[in-house]
Structure 1
């Protein structure tokens, strides 16, 4: 592959991290893994839950495998500043502020002295919806060393969707109001939240991302993968953890994964037209210690995708699913094995959002 300024900067960063690690006598890294949980409960939907026993096994594994647990905002700030992280760094996050975060996750994490972040949709707390934390519990969490509260909008809407009759100006103001309103409620009730925004449902497009950036916030999605020096910190990846993907045989390789350095060449946005069938994702693979020729991509719910080298010398590749995408959210997950370490994979994920054939939006 030919060199370019982006690749050169990545190589310089790798070299600097290695030099710092050797000088300091400890290994450093330019990446971390962020895990996203919802419920820690036996009686909630398996698609968004892990049992308390499974969660305990995850924590045991992190400790036994010598992972370093950092607050999410600290991870993002270090990456933003080009500063190294400890090797095998992980951040723990919980979306929606469900009651089991307080009753099940918090005691287990407090015993270990580990930090975590809870993303709160404040209208659910204000309205006293069942199954969610109350303000007293959130204040108790926020007062604990290492526990951060983050912004998850006021009402947890699908931000990419425009309402009937809503022009672009009104839509932008509504999205800003969702984010600003949640920050104001959190600040008033439990103290200033950390400057990290979690996209409801993991959904965003270029314009939503630009609003988050304009509000000077980091952003985190629900597309899979580790976060690294080359990641978009306004839409950083996290690995969702729930019963279908909670086994350590599944979670372990994710915790050891590395960011796959890529540039997205096409498309320009991730929200599909209703008539879209098999959308193509075109990537340029940047240089790194992985086996580019062994790149494999998978569409959620379908399996392995078609892969075509557009310009192998430049690392340009196109991937396409074998079947039409259904309405809803679909991830393309691409991995390539390390060229240096057995069992280590480099990982990148891209999220598509597709309405129904008639243009209406799917229900959750």
Structure 2
């Protein structure tokens, strides 16, 4: 009898272990509408298709902040865990997305920029609508007041004033969330996905977790002040594309070198060092936005450099890398974003960042 108990307990432990997941893909949406810009929209039909797939394929939709806390503490998530998020407080989320989510009892997070909410714009959510959604499992988080480019200074603005203005953008929304909804998950989505070391340090000091707009999967090894998500709108809305991302894992990296947050008039490059393990490194492929697949320079059996073929134009550019796992059923995924700024845009530059770091630390 004792042997049977031990065998039974071992079976339970192995079953639980098999069902555990130590990473999290997060889907990012904006509009759920037929009439909004296609690049940031899914139609209600597409969104229904996405949610139906999550349900039929056995995914567990989890609360985003709770899942992040568990990952950071190296606690396991349910098998096939996924989180759903929206950027901007568009009213069509309530009108077209919320009924679909409510019917399936899926939790979700909406990152809100509060200026249009406070002035009662007809295109944006009201606090009353948010309260109704909150009762059905929605969580509302920070997307700043005015949705600024957080790395751009105003004309004549000093570094200290710029950083204080960004802190005000975040702190004001935190207060509005508490005052109107009674709760803040202390999460931020950077407008346009842009941040630098000073902004990320500021978020860490405030106890905020934050998201960029690089694609990828979150694990305990992620930078919790610059987390990835998978866009699921526009060109990324087809279900075939979404399935690949939902079945992705974080790239097994020991280290990465990107050269900083900014691109210059020279091609960017990344150096990736892989953890020990049995990987299909020969099948690693990296793609540069607007340039296609790039060649790889293996400096050792565990270290590779990927370099863009030419410099990025002004704006944001990225390198995405993927690699099949040993089974060939899932892909490891990595992405990094750089900003190529123009002088007239007023971006905080690398020299300014160094100055601020010395001053604040």
The reply to whether TM is greater than 0.5 is: yes
SS in 2 for 1:250: helix
**In structure 2, C-alpha distance between the alignment counterparts of 1:297 and 1:342, rounded to whole Å:** 17
Deviation at 1:303, TM superposition (A): 1.1
* Alignment correspondent of 1:29: 21
**In structure 1, C-alpha distance between the alignment counterparts of 2:92 and 2:179, rounded to whole Å:** 23
Structure 1 residue 360 and structure 2 residue 345: aligned?
Answer: yes
Structure 1 residue 118 and structure 2 residue 93: aligned?
Answer: no
Pick which of 159-168 and 106-115 moved more. 159-168
Query: CA separation of 1:289/1:255 partners in 2, compared to 1, >3 Å: closer, same or farther?
Result: farther
Q: Residues 1-364 of structure 1: matches in 2 within 5 Å?
A: 22=14, 24=16, 26-142=18-134, 144-273=135-264, 276-312=265-301, 315-339=302-326, 341-356=327-342, 358=343, 360=345
Mapped contact 2:72–2:219 kept (Cα < 8 A): no
**In structure 2, C-alpha distance between the alignment counterparts of 1:208 and 1:306, rounded to whole Å:** 33
Write the deviation string for residues 168-208 of structure 1: whole angstroms up to 9, x where unpaired: 21111111111001111121122222111111111111111
Write the deviation string for residues 66-86 of structure 1: whole angstroms up to 9, x where unpaired: 000001101101101110011
Write the deviation string for residues 102-147 of structure 1: whole angstroms up to 9, x where unpaired: 01111111111110001111112112234111122122222x1421
Mapped contact 1:226–1:259 kept (Cα < 8 A): yes
**In structure 2, C-alpha distance between the alignment counterparts of 1:288 and 1:350, rounded to whole Å:** 23
**In structure 1, C-alpha distance between the alignment counterparts of 2:227 and 2:51, rounded to whole Å:** 23
**In structure 2, C-alpha distance between the alignment counterparts of 1:265 and 1:183, rounded to whole Å:** 32
Mapped contact 2:102–2:136 kept (Cα < 8 A): no
Which ranges of structure 1 fall in alignment gaps of 5 or more residues?
1-18
SS in 2 for 1:204: coil
Pick which of 125-134 and 112-121 moved more. 125-134
The alignment's C-alpha RMSD in Å is 2.0
**In structure 2, C-alpha distance between the alignment counterparts of 1:98 and 1:287, rounded to whole Å:** 45
How many residues end up aligned between the 2 structures? 338
Mapped contact 2:286–2:320 kept (Cα < 8 A): yes
Structure (1 or 2) with the larger CA radius of gyration: 2
Deviation at 1:160, TM superposition (A): 1.4
Give the ranges of 4+ consecutive aligned residues of structure 1 lying more than 6 Å apart after TM superposition.
Answer: none
Which ranges of structure 2 fall in alignment gaps of 5 or more residues?
1-10, 348-361
**In structure 1, C-alpha distance between the alignment counterparts of 2:151 and 2:259, rounded to whole Å:** 15
**In structure 1, C-alpha distance between the alignment counterparts of 2:52 and 2:228, rounded to whole Å:** 24
Deviation at 1:307, TM superposition (A): 1.2
> What TM-score comes out, normalization by structure 1 length?
0.88
> What TM-score comes out, normalization by structure 2 length?
0.89
SS in 2 for 1:154: coil
